[in-house]
Amino acid sequence: NMRWGLIPRWSRQPSTPYTTVTARLARAATSRIFAQAWKQRPCVIAMTGYYKWDRQRRPPWPLFVQRKDGMALLAAGLWEHWEVDQGQQIDSFSVLTAPNAAIPAPLTADGPVFFSGSVAMEWLAGAIGTPEALQARATTPALEAYPVARAFGDPARDDYTLLEPVDPDAQVPSRVSDAWDGDGLDDADDDLNG
Residue 158: count of CB within 10 angstroms of its CB: 9
- Residues 12-27 have pLDDT tens digits of 888 776 788 999 999 9
d(CA 135, CA 113): 7
> Where residue 186 falls among pLDDT bands split at 50, 70, 90?
very low
- Residues 158-168 have pLDDT tens digits of 788 888 998 88
- Residues 68-124 have pLDDT tens digits of 999 999 999 999 999 876 778 999 999 999 988 777 776 767 899 999 999 999 999
In this predicted structure, the answer to whether residue 179 has a pLDDT above a threshold of 60 is: no
> What's the domain range around 160?
2-189
Mean pLDDT of the chain: 84
Q: Which residues, in sequence order, are bridge partners of residue 37?
A: none
**What is the SS3 assignment for 7?**
coil
pLDDT of residue 173: 57
In this predicted structure, the answer to whether residue 151 has a pLDDT above a threshold of 60 is: yes
How many Å separate Cα 56 from the centre of its chain? 20
Instruction: Classify residue 52 by its DSSP letter.
Output: E
> Where residue 174 falls among pLDDT bands split at 50, 70, 90?
low
pLDDT of residue 192: 46
CB 146 within 8 A of CB 54: no
DSSP 153-185: G-TT--SGGGGSB--GGGPPPSSGGGGTSSSSS
| 46 found inside a domain | yes
| 51 found inside a domain | yes
> Where residue 191 falls among pLDDT bands split at 50, 70, 90?
very low
| 194 found inside a domain | no
Number of domains composing the chain: 1
Cα–Cα distance list, 47 to 88, 172, 177 (Å): 28, 29, 31
Q: What is the pTM of this model?
A: 0.82
% the chain with pLDDT above 90: 51
| 44 found inside a domain | yes
CB 19 within 8 A of CB 33: no
| 22 found inside a domain | yes
Domain of residue 34, CATH code: 3.90.1680.10
For residue 169, report the phi and psi dihedrals to the nearest 5 degrees: -70, -20
Cα–Cα distance list, 160 to 65, 136, 157 (Å): 15, 34, 9
Nearest to 127 by CA among 36, 42, 6: 42
